[in-house]
C-alpha cells in the first residue's frame, strides 16, 4: 500500500510560535460545528502529558472532554458518561487499545458506531482499525515517524470519502527543516 492515499488531503500548519494545543483546540471546535451525523475525527498526541494539556484547554473553552487514562479506576464510568452523552471528545492514552480488547470493544464501538464526534489518542489507536466516517485526523505536533503517520492518517478517507490530515507544529521550534522533513524525522 502506498504511503499516501488519493482520498486524503494532507496539510502542515505552522503555529508560528503560538501554542499548538490552542490551534488544535480551535480547529476541533470549528470543525465540530460542521460535522453531520456519523462524521468523526481523531486527534493524535505524542504523550499522556500532551493529551492532558489539550483536555484542560478544551474544558476551559467549554468543550466537554472526558479524559480516559490508564490509571483511572473508573474508566468504564468515564467512558460510559462520554459514550451515552451527546457526543464530544474523549482523550485516550496507550491503555485505550488494551481496554478495547479487554472489554469486547465497548469503548471503540461507541466512538466507531455512534453518531460521530472526536477522539483524542496516542499512537495506540493508529493501527488495525477500520472506522467509517473519519473525515479529519489532526496531529498535535509532529508524529513519531512516517510509519506512525501513515497508520494514523489512514484512519481517515475510507469508503470513498475525502479525509483531511493536518499536522500542527511549530516549525521554528524544531529548527529550519522544511515541511516535508517534519513528517519524516524520528
Q: In angstroms, what CA-CA distances link 111 with 34, 39, 61, 64, 90?
A: 18, 10, 22, 15, 9
pLDDT-based confidence at residue 68 (cuts at 50, 70, 90): very low
Task: Name the residue ranges covered by the structural domains of the chain.
Answer: 8-184
- Residues 81-94: b if buried by 16+ CB within 10 A, e if exposed: ebbeeebbbbbbbb
- Residues 38-54: b if buried by 16+ CB within 10 A, e if exposed: ebbbbbbbbebebbebb
What is the rounded CA–CA span in Å between residue 14 and residue 11?
10
Q: Which three cell numbers stand for residue 114?
A: 455512534
The pLDDT value recorded for residue 90 is: 60
CATH code given to domain 8-184: 3.40.50.300
Q: What is the pLDDT of residues 18-65, one digit of tens each?
A: 999 899 989 988 998 888 888 888 888 888 788 888 878 887 887 755
Amino acid at each position: 500500500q502506498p504511503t499516501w492515499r488519493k482520498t486524503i488531503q494532507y496539510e502542515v500548519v505552522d503555529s508560528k510560535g503560538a501554542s499548538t494545543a490552542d490551534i488544535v483546540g480551535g480547529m476541533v471546535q470549528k470543525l465540530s460545528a460542521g460535522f453531520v451525523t456519523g462524521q468523526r475525527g481523531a486527534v493524535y498526541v505524542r504523550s499522556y502529558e500532551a493529551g492532558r494539556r489539550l483536555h484542560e484547554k478544551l474544558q476551559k473553552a467549554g468543550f466537554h472532554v472526558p479524559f480516559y487514562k490508564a490509571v483511572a479506576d473508573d474508566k468504564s464510568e468515564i467512558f460510559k458518561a462520554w459514550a451515552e452523552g451527546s457526543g464530544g471528545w474523549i482523550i485516550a492514552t496507550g491503555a485505550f487499545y488494551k481496554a478495547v480488547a479487554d472489554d469486547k470493544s465497548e469503548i471503540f464501538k461507541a466512538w466507531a458506531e455512534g453518531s460521530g464526534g472526536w477522539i483524542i489518542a496516542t499512537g495506540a489507536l493508529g493501527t488495525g482499525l477500520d472506522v467509517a466516517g473519519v473525515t479529519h485526523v489532526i496531529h498535535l505536533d509532529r508524529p513519531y515517524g512516517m510509519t506512525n503517520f501513515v497508520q494514523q492518517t489512514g484512519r481517515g478517507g475510507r469508503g470513498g470519502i475525502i479525509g483531511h490530515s493536518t499536522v500542527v507544529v511549530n516549525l521554528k521550534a524544531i529548527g529550519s527543516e522544511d515541511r516535508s522533513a517534519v513528517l519524516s524525522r524520528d
